[in-house]
A = this chain, B = another copy of it.
Amino acid sequence: MKKETFISINVESKNVLNLGMLSRKTKYGIKALTYLARQEDQVPTSIATIAESEKIPHKFLEAILLELRKNSILGSRKGKGGGYYLMQLPEKIRMSTVHRILEGPIAMLPCVSLNFYEKCEDCVDEDACSVNKLMIQVRDNTLAILENQTLHDLI
Listed in ascending order, the chain A residues whose CB lies under 8 Å from chain B are 2, 7-10, 13-16, 18-22, 27, 30-31, 33-34, 54-56, 67, 70-72, 95, 97, 100-102, 104-105, 107-110, 113, 116, 122, 129-131, 133-135, 137-138, 141-142, 145-147, 149, 151, 154-155
Contacts and interface: CB of A to CB of B under 8 A. Distances in A.
Given A18-B104, A109-B22, A13 B142 contact: no
A139 to B, nearest CB: 10
A149 B137 contact: yes
Contact of A145 (B107, B129, B141, B147): B141
B130 A13 contact: no
A61 to B, nearest CB: 12
